[in-house]
Every structure is written in C-alpha cells, then in structure tokens.
A and B are shown apart, each in its own frame.
Chain A
Amino acid sequence: MSTTANPTIDLGPGAHGGADHHDHAHDHDHGHHTLTGWRRWVYATNHKDIGTLYLWFSFSMFITGGLMALGIRAELFTPGLQFWQPEFFNQLTTLHGVIMVFGAIMPAFTGLANWMLPLMLGAPDMAFARMNNWSFWLLPPAAALLIISLFVPGGAAAGGWTLYPPLSLQFGMGMDLAIFAIHLLGISSIMGSINIITTILNMRAPGMTLMKMPMFAWTALITNYLLVAVAPVLAGAVTMLLTDRHFGTHFFKAVGGGDPVLFQHIFWFFGHPEVYIMALPAFGVVSQIIPTFARKPLFGYHSMVYATASIAILSFMVWAHHMFSVGMPATAQLFFMFMTMLIAVPTGVKVFNWIATMWQGSMSFETPMLFAVGFVCLFTVGGFSGLVLSIAPVDTQMHDTYYVVAHFHYVLVAGALFSLFGAVYYWLPKWTGNMYSERAGKFHFWWSMVWFNVTFFPMHFLGLAGMPRRIPDYPLQFTDFNAIATVGAFCFGLGQLFFLYNVIHTIRGGVGKAPANPWDSPTLEWEVPSPAPHHTWETPPDEALVKKGLVAQALE
C-alpha cells in the first residue's frame, strides 16, 4: 500500500500502511490529527471526521432534494401549470428521488456507521481508513454531476428515479450524467460497505461476540452485505442503459431483440434490497434508542437478529412486486405476492419486540425517544400500506398512483428519516460534548410529526381516488387534498431548518456541557468522554468493561 517509508510518521491506529502516499510538496509528517483547516477534511482518515463529513453531506443533499420536493408540491398546489413546464417538473421528481435515496438517506446511515461503529465495538478506527476517505470523496462529485445535469441541453433525467427504458434511452446527456453519478455512488457504497463489514467482523472488542453486538452493529452488518450484493447489480443495469444509448447494444431495445421489461427485473433486483438498505439501519438505531429510554434491555435480542437476517434474505425474492402490472403469468404474481406478505412476519416480530421493550419500562420521552416512538407508529402505517400494495390485484389498481407515493414516504420519511433525527439527537452529546435544548428538540419532533402527516396522509386518499404519480397537472377533483399536502410539505420543510438551527446551537454550546453518559446507556460509545476525543479505543476496552455493558444489556 505505501511506497515510501517514513520513520517519523505517527502510526496512529487505523492509519494502515503508514506513510501518506499522496506526494505533496508541503510537509505534514505527524499523522492526520495534526492537520487543520481544509486539509483535515480533504485528507481525512479519522472515522469521526469522515462520519461528520458524511452527515453534513447528506444533510445538504436532504435540503437540496427537499427544495425539489417543494418545487413539486408548489406546482401541485392547484390544478393547471403554475411554475414549471411539465419537462422540468419531471426532472424535479426524478432528481428528488435519486438525491434523497442515494444522496441523503444512504450516506447518512453510512456516516452514522462510520461515527458510531468503532465507538460501539471498541475499535480504534474503521478497518480501511484511506479507502474510507475515498468512499466519502466520491460523493460530492456524484452530487455535482446530478446538479449539473439540470443545466445541460435537454435537462436532467426525467423518467423517474427508476430510470425505466425506453424513456431513459431517449433523454439527452442529462441521463448520461445521472448514470455516471450512479456509478460513482455505487462505487462509494461498495467501498463503504466493505469497510463497515470488515470493521464489524474483525475489529470487535474482546468478549463481544457477534451475538452480543449492539443491534445497530447487526443491522449495519446485514445492510452492508445487502449493499455489496446489489449495488453492483444497479451498476450493471445502468451500464447496460449507457451502452444501449451510445454503443449500439440492445439490452433493453425491442428493435434489436432486447426487452425494456428486463431492465425492470434487473433494477428491482437491486431496488427491493435497496428498500431494506434504507430501512434496516433505521431499525438498528431505534433498537438502540428504545431500550435506553425505556430503561430495559432490548426485548428479544436474538429474534431481532434473526428477523433482520430473514428480512434481508426475503428481500431478494420479492422484487417483481414492483412490476405486477407488466403482464407476468399469474403463478409468478402469486409467488411474489406471497413472498412479499411473508416479509410482514419478521417485520412484525421487530415491531412487537420494540413494544415489548417499552412494556412496563420506566419510560421517559426525550427527543430521541420521541422520534423512535414516532418511527414505530408511522413506520407501521407505512408497513400496512405496503401490505395492501403487496396484494397483486389491488396493486394493479394502485400501481403508479399517489397511494404508492404515500406508502414509501411513510417508510422513508417517517421511517428512515425520523430514525436519523432520533440518532442525531441521541448521539449529539457524544459528538459535540454539549447537550441540545430539549425544548427545541421536542418542538422539532412535534412539528415534523404533525406536518409529515398533513403532507402524506392525504396522498393515500388521492391514490385511492386514482391520481397518478409524476404528473404536473391533475383533474379538479384532486384539488383539496393536493392543497393540504402542499401546505404540509412547506411547513415540514420549514421545520427542518429549525433542526439545522438546533444542531448548530448544540455545536456552539447548546444548553451546557454533556456528561460522558447522559442517557445512562450501557453500550460502549458512552464509555468514552464527551465530546469523543479524536482517537478512541487505541487500546481495546478491557474484557471487564465490555462484560459490564453486556450484562446491563442482558446479553451475558
């Protein structure tokens, strides 16, 4: 790995390979922790710095994608065309989807894993500190490609985030930029997941066996296995699109003997596990927060692990439930329908475990707990609407309507995003060394909770009444619910600026210094001081310390 031997280098834990192989004219010989200013971030190899970068990046993408969502909602406030031409509206829906999925949710969970896993497992850093730097720094160029694509002739990709051919074969160069962005994001995800899996499997503290890891580590492990398996499939699918567009292949062109439906199969073979890539880490976060604030160990730890694993395995066998309307044989529809319904079983196990964890606990409702409980309630609503959609004959009716939009926003916003908010409030004291304002946090929660439902609940009705998704204009009878949803969306968006204010306020001191373990939680990340020093667990935690935490979690 290293080509130069530098005896003066500080071989900090995690700085594998020793000398820096970027050959710069200036001298920075004492390891990464001496770097200041922009160099600290651009050359970052420390898992905490990289985690911070990931989190800020995903927040900025969240705001970007959120502004696009507001563009969509503004247009849909009343029937008729107000602000955008239909072409641009379609670009907004496409980029909103791509940016939120690949730019906001996924990097946020990778960032959390980066920040927290070494702390929770008692490892000095991630397994591959330099690769970690690269996985992060591929993200901003990918985001830039997506943003730039708005300004090229023909505009950005406009066929929806699923990039279905034949539309995606017909767009201008905006589509190529989106394809390259997805390539970069895919490479970044694969490297990130190799790093996370290796860290979890090889670098746990002595005494912490796999079945004694925090649930967050389990969900991160399984999620990243999913990513290693399916991110390359997406890369393959978009590469086929690219060669169909420019190099005369006919994977998806019926003229040359290909089939556009084949793309849907390949895409959803990636796309369905992707759903769980965004959901499982949320389960992990909630499984850390709920036991802490219920002051009880997680109920059914083992069943939680098995449920997570079975969700992951089942996720490979249900992809065609996104395609019930393409004309599959009835036998295939039944197979995918029953497999999909089966996923409700392990998911139900999880929901009941969370409820059982809270049962007779001495609960308190600090902001992280509010978000976690909000998650359990609303994610279950999204799960039920998913169950409705899993029924093939119902889905033939609801396919591509606002019911689907309502469903996946319940699982992605109230699911993944709420868990991320919960995680940020939960670990902010550890990250910044300061306590956030509980009043402000609670306000953020209730504000989000109310306006989220105002935005997305009416979409169920719109979908049931037959409003198709991805349309810039609609018949008059859909006006009222659309107007309500738009008001909700703008208020929800405003509330997220308040979240930004909360975080900055906490970084600047918040309401006072945070103790090392403000929540009295038994996992290892609370054993290091707050704020977490730049280097932690340079010597692994001793077995007694690990054992103490495991006993408190009822794992030993």
Chain B
Amino acid sequence: MTAATLALTQQRANRRLAIKLAVVAALMVGFAYGMVPFYNVFCEALGVDRARPELADTHAAAMRVEFDSNVSAGLPARLTALEPVVAGRAGGLIKAKFRLENLSDAPLGIRAVPSYAPERAGRFLQKLECFCFNALTLAPRETREVTVVLLVESDMPQELGAVTLSYTLYPLEENAHQEHPAT
C-alpha cells in the first residue's frame, strides 16, 4: 500500500469512529430527556414523594400536610397512610384515609393518639371526623379503612408551609384483660 492509500484508509476509519461517537452523544441527549418519564415511573413505583402541582399553586396559599403513623412497641397492628402527603387550602377540607390492620389472631382493642408538628398547627386544623375519636376493636386479622376529615381554618398563616399530623396506635386497657384468660 502506498502512503496515500494508507492515509485514505486511516481517514475513513477515523470518520467511521467519529460518526459512532457522535451517535452516542446524540443518544445521550435522548437519555437526558428519557430521565423525565423514568423519574416519574421510578417515584411512583418506590412510593417516593415528589413535587406536586397542587402544592405549587401560586394563586392560593397551599399547606403541605404530611401524615405520619407509628405503632407503640409490641402492638401487633399496622397503620398506613394511604396518601401520605396532601395539599391543604385555607378554608378547605382535607379527607385522608388510613389502613388499619390487626396482625394477630386475637381481637385487638386500640386507640390512635394524634399529635402535630409544629404544635401550633393544631389550632388551624380542625378535626371534623377522626378514627382517633373512638376506641376501636379489630377482629382477628381484620383490615379496615379509617378516615380523617380536617377543616383548614381560613386564617391559616401562609408561612406555616408544612404540617405533620402523626398518629400513634396504643393498646386499650381492656386488651390486657382479654389476653389473660384468668380474668
């Protein structure tokens, strides 16, 4: 091969490689855009909280209300907020559902005790209906959906921003008696 043809072969090989690399670069732009739908799917699949349009409404002050749930130690029950983050609007209603499960083979008497963070937020969220008002008794292995309805006061201060409403399940006193056949 003469030097000239050698240079030509080289040039052709170079060009082929450059085109391949340029295609990779173009595909990577596509990858950047592909991350957008992927992100949504990923957040949904993992149940990861993401930004929500209803909280970003600039025309009306929105408050982010987060539901947290705990079970006191040793209690065979589970409490899950079905929608852990909701948007509250001054003067509006918030309806949230929880799933309550008895994991034991015996009937279970429980009571949910609410608490707020920050504490002063309690003043602006008025409970119209709550599963925490009453003591509940769950049949063995029972799963039940329970509801909370909150009225957001119309004088809710805008700087409040976010509120966490936490429920902790405690056993009822009677449980102890039920579990001891002696009584």
Residue positions of A touching B, CB distance < 8 A = 13, 16, 127-128, 131, 190, 193-195, 197-198, 201-203, 228-237, 240, 251, 253-262, 265-266, 269, 327-329
Contacts and interface: CB of A to CB of B under 8 A. Distances in A.
A430 to B, nearest CB: 25
B49 A203 contact: no
A236 B25 CA distance: 11
Contacts of B21: 193-194, 197-198, 228
14 contacts: A128-B18, A202-B10, A202-B14, A228-B21, A233-B31, A236-B31, A254-B56, A256-B53, A258-B51, A259-B43, A262-B35, A265-B39, A269-B32, A329-B46
A254 B55 contact: yes
A255 B57 contact: yes
Interface residues of B, number: 33
A266 B50 CA distance: 15
B28 interface: yes
Given A127-B18, A194-B18, A235-B29, A228 B24 contact: yes
B75 to A, nearest CB: 23
Contacts of B27: 232
Given A202-B10, A254-B52, A256-B53, A232 B36 contact: no
Contact of A232 (B14, B29, B46, B49): B29
B41 interface: no
B17 interface: yes
B29 A128 contact: no
B48 A254 contact: no
Contacts of A235: 29, 32
Contacts of A266: 32, 35
Given A128-B14, A240-B32, A329-B48, 12 more contacts: A16-B11, A194-B25, A198-B14, A202-B14, A203-B10, A228-B21, A229-B24, A231-B28, A233-B28, A233-B31, A236-B33, A253-B56
B22 A194 contact: yes
Contacts of B28: 228-233, 236
B58 interface: yes
B182 interface: no
B23 to A, nearest CB: 10
Contacts of A236: 28-29, 31-33
A230 B29 CA distance: 9
A131 B27 CA distance: 21
Contacts of A198: 14, 17-18, 21
B36 A262 contact: yes
Nearest to A197: B21
Nearest to B19: A194
A259 B25 contact: no
A313 to B, nearest CB: 16
B26 A232 contact: yes
B71 to A, nearest CB: 19
A232 B18 contact: no
Contacts of A329: 46, 48
A127 B18 CA distance: 9
Nearest to A252: B51
A269 B58 CA distance: 30
B17 A201 contact: yes
Nearest to A539: B3
A162 to B, nearest CB: 15
A229 to B, nearest CB: 6
Contacts of B51: 254, 258-261
Given A232-B28, A262-B35, A328-B48, A255 B53 contact: yes
B50 A269 contact: no
Nearest to A17: B11
B1 interface: no
A234 B31 CA distance: 11
A384 to B, nearest CB: 32
Contacts of B73: none
Nearest to A187: B25
Contact of A261 (B17, B33, B50): B50
Contacts of B49: 327
A233 B58 contact: no
A229 B21 CA distance: 9
A262 B48 contact: no
A229 B53 CA distance: 32
Contact of B32 (A194, A232, A254, A256): A232
B53 A202 contact: no
A415 to B, nearest CB: 26
A345 B10 CA distance: 39
Given A197-B21, A235-B29, A251 B14 contact: no
Contacts of A232: 25-29, 31-32
A257 B17 CA distance: 41
A237 B22 CA distance: 18
Lowest 9 CB-CB distances: which A-B pairs, in order?
Answer: A236-B32, A254-B56, A254-B51, A232-B28, A259-B51, A232-B29, A233-B32, A127-B14, A255-B56
Interface in B31-88: 31-33, 35-36, 39, 43, 46, 48-53, 55-58
Contacts of B25: 190, 194, 228, 231-232
Contacts of A228: 21, 24-25, 28
Contacts of A234: 32
Contacts of B18: 127-128, 131, 194-195, 198
Contacts of A16: 11, 14
A306 to B, nearest CB: 22
Contacts of B10: 202-203
* Residue of A229, A253, A255 most packed against chain B (CB within 10 A): A255
Contacts of A233: 28-29, 31-32
Nearest to B34: A236
A4 to B, nearest CB: 18
A127 B17 CA distance: 10
A229 B27 CA distance: 9
Contact of B17 (A197, A254, A259): A197
Contacts of B35: 262, 265-266, 269
B15 to A, nearest CB: 8
A258 B11 CA distance: 46
A277 B43 CA distance: 30
A106 B165 CA distance: 50
